[in-house]
Structure 1
Amino acid sequence: MKGSIKKNPQTGKWDIVVDIGKDPFTGKRKQKKKRGFNTKQEAGKALTKILNEINEGTLFEPANMTVNQFMDIWFNERRLSVERTTYQNNKAFFKIYISPQIGSLKMFKVTPLILQQFVNELVEKTNLASSTIHKIFDVLKVSFSRAVKLKIIKENPVVLVDLPKVKKAEMKVWDINQVNFFLENVVNVKRPSKYITAYLLAILTGMRQGEILGLRWKDIDFQTKQIFVTQTLSHDGKELRNWTKTKAGKRAIHIPDVLNNHLTVERKRFLENKLMYGNEFEDNDLVICTKMGKPVQSTNLLRAFKNDVKKVGLPIIRFHDLRHTHATMLIQQNINPKVIQERLGHSRIGITLDIYSHVLPSMQQEVAMKLDEMLGTNTIL
C-alpha cells in the first residue's frame, strides 16, 4: 500500500493520502484521506498508523454503497439459503417498507436513531401489528449482520433499536364436550364437511396445517395405526416439501381406532375417485386433496373450517387452535409432557411446557387432592 504526505498550500497544514485498494462493490481504487495536521511529523505518525492497520487487517473503511445496492447482493445470497416462501416474504417486507424509507441511504450512514425513527413511524402511521414490525426488522437485523461480516459496515445499528412489545395472542381451545359437539354436527349429518378428514387429523393427532395438507397415503400404516410425518405443503400451496419445520417434526404418531377406521374408508373413496377421472387425475397421493387430486389451498381449508364452526354455533377458533386443543386434552388426561412434545414435533420439551403452561394451573387443585389421597387427611394431625 502506498501513502503520501503533502503540505496544503491553502491551509498551510499537512495532509495524508493512502491507497487502500479497490472497492469490492465498484472495483474502483479507494483512497483514505486525512487533513489538517499541524506538523509533518504528526502527519507521518498518522500515515504509519494507517499503514500498520492495513498490514494487520484491522483498518475499517466503510464501502460506499446504498442500502438498496447491498440488499440486492444479500437477496442473491438469501435465495440460496432459505425456503422459497421465506425468501419471498423477506423481499416483500423490504420492497414495501424498508426500501422506501432507507433504501437510498449509504449503508454506513444508517444509524440507530434513523432506524428508531423508522420504527416510530411504523407504529404511529400504520396499522401494522407489532409482530409484523418485528418481522420487518428481522430482515434488517440479519442482512446488516451479514454486512458487518463483509466489512461493509463496522457495527450492526439494528441491534440498538427498541421495537414495540409483541402481545402474545390468547390461545383459544375447545373442551372435550365442544369437540364432540363439533364432530357430531359436522360428521353425522346428511352432507358432512368435505374437510372432515383434515379436522379429525388436527384434533386427534395435533399435526400442523402444512403437515396435514402434505400427508400422503403411503405415510399411513393402517396395520400399526401410525402416521409418519415426512412431508409438508407450503403456505401458498405451490410446493410439496419432503422436509418438516424442525428435525423433531419428522415423527411417527400413533392414532386411535376412530381415526384409523375413518382413514380406511377415505382411502377407498380416494382410489375410486382416481379411477373415475383416469388420466385427468393428478396423483400426488395426498390424503387431503381436490377431486382432481391437486393440493388443497390453505385459505380454502381455513375458510371452510370457520364456516363450519359458525354453522354449529361454537366459539370461533383458528384451525391451528385444533392442534392446541389436542395438546390441552392430553395434558388434562395427565399424559406425560414428553410424549406430547414428541407427538407435536416440538424440538424441546421446554417449548411444549411454555406454550401450554396455561393448562397447568387448573391442575394444581387435582395435585393437592391426590396428595391428600396418598397421605390421608389425619396422617400428620
Structure 2
Amino acid sequence: MGKRTNTARWTGKHWRIDVQQNGKRKSFYSSRPGRTGQREANAKADAWLDDGIAARAPRVADAGALWLREVEQTTCTTNYRPTESRWRNWIVPAIGTRRVNQLTDQDLQEIINTAYAAGRSRKVLKLLAADLRAFCKYCRKARLSAYVPEELKIPAGARYKGKTILQPSDLVKLFNVDTTTYRGKTVEDEYINAYRFQVLTGLRPGEVIGLDWADIHGSMVNVSRSVNVEGEQTRGKNENAVRSFQLSALACHVLDEQREAAGCLGSVFRITNEQHYYKRWKTYCAANGLTPCSLYELRHTFVSVVKTLPAGEVKSLVGHSADMDTFGIYAHTLTGDAAHTAQAVNGVFLQVLKNA
C-alpha cells in the first residue's frame, strides 16, 4: 500500500496531488478554488490509497496500544508515561472505538478543543496534537490507514502555564546564605553549589545531576548526559541538549568551591536523585524565605535574568532548538563568541546582585 506524505498543490488552474501505491502512480484533481478544493483532491487520493488497506481496519484503541508499545520500547520512561497518560485520558475516550481509517481532522480537532475547554495549557494542547500526528504516522507505516492530519490547530486563546522565578532579593539570599535546616537544626546545605550553578548556567535539573568532573575543562563545560526522575541516564531532552559553552566567572567560582568541598572525581554535585535534590531545595527556600519555585524554574530564572542578551547567545547556552524563537537554523558560532557570552552573563548577574 502507498501512503500519502504530501498534499495537493494549486497549479494555477486546479488542485493536483500525485500519489503512488504498489508501483502505480496516479494523479487526482479538483477545480474548486480555495482550501475546499485542496481537501477534495486529497480526499480522492486518500480514497484510492485506502483500497490497499484491509476492509476492517483496527479500532483506534487497539492500534494505539501497539503504538504505545513502540513508544515505550524506543523512548525513555519520562517520555512514555505522560504520553500514555494523555492517550488514556483524552484520546481513547473520544475516538477509541473509531476505525483508524475513518478518522478525520475534525475528530482530532475536537480532542484538542475539549482539552482547551477543560483549561489545559497551550503546552499540553501542543503535546496532544503531536501525539495524534505521531499515532497517525504509525498507522500509515503499519499499513493500517493512509490518513494524514493536516489542519490541527491550537486555539488562539490557549496560554502557557505561568512560571515562578527567583526575584533579585531571592538571588541575593541564594548567593550569600549557605545554610538550611535539617531535623530542626541549622546546617550547611550540601547542595548549595548545585542551586547556584543551576541558576548561573540555566542547566536542567537532570543535567546538573548528570554532570561529571570529566565534563569540565577549565572554564568550558560539556553537557552530554542527563539523569531523569526515574534514575535513567540519557543523552538529554533532545538533540540540542548536547552542547558546550564557556562558564561565567561566577559559575567558575561556584565550581571552585564545590571542588574544594567535595573533590574533583566522579559526579560534580554528588546528588543521589532528583526527588532528594528537589526536597532539599524546597527546604532551603522555606528556611531562608525564598520565593517557592521548582528546580526547573531555576532554568527560567536564568533566562529571565539574561533576557537582555542576544537570543542566539541564550539559545546556545540552554540548548534550545531554532523553533524556540531564538536563533534560526543558519546561525553559527564565531571565534570568540563563547568568551564574549561568558563575560556578558557574568556582568548581568553581578549587576543584578549589586542593585538588589
**TM-score normalised to the size of structure 1?**
0.60
Give the aligned residue type for 2:242: G
Deviates more, 1:92-101 or 1:195-204: 92-101
Aligned to 1:193: 189
Of 263, 287, 302, the residue aligned with 1:311 is 287
Give the aligned residue type for 1:168: Y
Residues 204-233 of structure 1 deviation map (CA, whole Å, 9 limit, x = unaligned): 222121110111122223xx2333212111
Secondary structure of 1:185's partner? coil
Residues 276-311 of structure 1 deviation map (CA, whole Å, 9 limit, x = unaligned): xxxxxxxxx323335xxxx312x3333432332233
Aligned to 2:254: 259
| 1:286 and 2:262 correspond | no
Counterparts of 1:317 and 1:69 in 2: how far apart (Å)? 40
Deviates more, 1:311-320 or 1:187-196: 187-196
Counterparts of 1:353 and 1:214 in 2: how far apart (Å)? 26
Q: Classify 1:122/1:352 alpha carbon distance in 2 versus 1 (closer, same or farther; 3 Å).
A: closer
Aligned to 1:147: 139
Aligned to 2:126: 134
Report the identity percentage.
18
Deviates more, 1:138-147 or 1:249-258: 249-258
Of 296, 300, 306, the residue aligned with 2:273 is 296
1:140 deviates by: 1.5
Give the aligned residue type for 1:56: K
Q: Classify 1:210/1:160 alpha carbon distance in 2 versus 1 (closer, same or farther; 3 Å).
A: same
Counterparts of 1:186 and 1:328 in 2: how far apart (Å)? 23
2:243–2:316 CA contact under 8 A, matched in 1:
no
| 1:344 and 2:344 correspond | no
Two-structure CA RMSD over aligned residues (Å): 3.6
Q: Classify 1:252/1:112 alpha carbon distance in 2 versus 1 (closer, same or farther; 3 Å).
A: closer
Q: Classify 1:240/1:253 alpha carbon distance in 2 versus 1 (closer, same or farther; 3 Å).
A: farther
Aligned to 2:296: 320
Q: Classify 1:248/1:288 alpha carbon distance in 2 versus 1 (closer, same or farther; 3 Å).
A: closer
Give the aligned residue type for 2:212: R
Which 5+ residue runs of structure 2 have no aligned equivalent? Answer: 2-20, 27-47, 329-356
Residues 59-98 of structure 1 deviation map (CA, whole Å, 9 limit, x = unaligned): 4324322112322343344445444432333233223332
| 1:166 and 2:144 correspond | no
Counterparts of 2:293 and 2:67 in 1: how far apart (Å)? 39
Counterparts of 2:110 and 2:171 in 1: how far apart (Å)? 47
Counterparts of 1:146 and 1:306 in 2: how far apart (Å)? 42
Secondary structure of 1:251's partner? strand
Counterparts of 1:349 and 1:92 in 2: how far apart (Å)? 26
Give the aligned residue type for 1:229: V
Secondary structure of 1:289's partner? coil
1:350 deviates by: 6.7
Aligned to 2:7: none
- Looking at CA atoms only, which structure, 1 or 2, has the larger radius of gyration? 1
Aligned to 1:182: 174
Q: Classify 1:351/1:267 alpha carbon distance in 2 versus 1 (closer, same or farther; 3 Å).
A: farther
Residues 137-170 of structure 1 deviation map (CA, whole Å, 9 limit, x = unaligned): 321121113324555334335x444444431344
Aligned to 1:6: none
1:211–1:233 CA contact under 8 A, matched in 2:
yes
Secondary structure of 1:204's partner? helix
1:340 deviates by: 3.3
Output aligned runs, 1:89-128, within 5 Å. Answer: 89-124=82-117, 126=118, 128=120
1:253 deviates by: 3.2
